[in-house]
A = this chain, B = another copy of it.
Amino acid sequence: MSKEISPLQKLRYEYKPKLPKALRGTNVSVSFGAAGTPDGDGEKIKELFPNTFGQKLVTITEGGDAVPNSPIKVGVVLSGGQAPGGHNVIAGLYDALKNANPANKLYGFLKGPAGIMKGNYVELDDEIIDSHRNTGGFSMIMSGRDKITTDEDLSNCKKNFDALDLDGCVIIGGDDSNTNAAVLAEYLRAVGSKTCIIGVPKTIDGDMKNEYIETSFGFDTACKTYSELIGNICRDATSAVKYWHFVRLMGRAASHVTLECGFQTHPNITLVSEEVSAKNTTLGEIVDYIVDVIVKRAEQGKNYGVLLVPEGLPEFISDIKTTIDEISAILGDKEKELAAMSETAEKIAFVSGLLSEGGKKVYASLPASAQQVLLTRDSHGNVPLSQVETERLLIDLVGNKIKQLKAQGKTNAKFAAQNHFFGYEGRCAMPTNFDADYCYSLGAAAAVLVRAGLTGYTVNVLNMTKDSDEWVAGGVPVTMMLCIETRKGKDTPVIKKALVDLEGKPFKYFAANRDEWALNDCYTFPGAIQYYGPSEVCDITSKTLALEKN
List chain A positions with a Cβ less than 8 A from chain B: 1-9, 11-12, 81-82, 111, 135-139, 142-143, 225, 228-229, 231-233, 235-236, 238-241, 243, 245, 264, 266, 418, 420, 424-430, 521-534, 536-537, 540
Residues of the B chain whose Cβ atoms lie less than 8 Å from the Cβ of A6:
231, 264, 524-527
20 further contact pairs, Cβ within 8 A, besides A4-B522, A111-B241? A1-B238, A1-B522, A2-B521, A2-B524, A4-B524, A5-B524, A6-B231, A6-B526, A7-B537, A8-B526, A9-B524, A82-B240, A136-B232, A139-B235, A142-B241, A420-B424, A429-B528, A527-B529, A528-B530, A530-B532
Q: Roughly how many angstroms separate A532 CA and B235 CA in the complex, as a whole number?
A: 22
Please tell me how many copies of the chain the complex holds. Answer: 2
- Assess whether B245 is in contact with A139, with CB atoms less than 8 Å apart: no
- Assess whether B529 is in contact with A428, with CB atoms less than 8 Å apart: no
Residue of B nearest to A241 (CB): B142
Give the residue of B2, B4, B232, B424 whose beta carbon is less than 8 angstroms from that of A225.
B232
A417 to B: closest C-beta gap in Å = 11
Residue of B nearest to A230 (CB): B425
A424 and B2 in contact (CB under 8 A), knowing A143-B240, A530-B531?
A: no
Residue of B nearest to A529 (CB): B528
- Assess whether B537 is in contact with A2, with CB atoms less than 8 Å apart: no
Give the residue of B5, B9, B241, B537 whose beta carbon is less than 8 angstroms from that of A8.
B537
Residues of the B chain whose Cβ atoms lie less than 8 Å from the Cβ of A420:
424-425
A550 to B: closest C-beta gap in Å = 16
CB pairs A–B below 8 angstroms (16 shown): A2-B523, A4-B522, A6-B231, A6-B525, A12-B527, A82-B236, A135-B235, A135-B525, A139-B238, A229-B425, A232-B424, A232-B425, A239-B428, A243-B424, A429-B527, A531-B533
Q: Roughly how many angstroms separate A243 CA and B145 CA in the complex, as a whole number?
A: 14
Residues of the B chain whose Cβ atoms lie less than 8 Å from the Cβ of A522:
1-4
Residues of the B chain whose Cβ atoms lie less than 8 Å from the Cβ of A425:
229, 232-233, 420
- Assess whether A430 is in contact with B528, with CB atoms less than 8 Å apart: yes
Residue of B nearest to A8 (CB): B527
Residues of the B chain whose Cβ atoms lie less than 8 Å from the Cβ of A418:
424
- Assess whether A136 is in contact with B7, with CB atoms less than 8 Å apart: no
A136 and B235 in contact (CB under 8 A), knowing A425-B229, A430-B527, A528-B228?
A: yes
- Assess whether A426 is in contact with B232, with CB atoms less than 8 Å apart: yes
Top 3 A-B pairs ranked by shortest CB distance? A532-B533, A137-B235, A528-B528
Residue of B nearest to A243 (CB): B424
Residues of the B chain whose Cβ atoms lie less than 8 Å from the Cβ of A537:
7-8, 11, 532
Residues of the B chain whose Cβ atoms lie less than 8 Å from the Cβ of A142:
238-241
Q: Roughly how many angstroms separate A208 CA and B31 CA in the complex, as a whole number?
A: 66
The residue among A143, A225, A425 with the most chain B CB atoms within 10 A of its own CB is A425
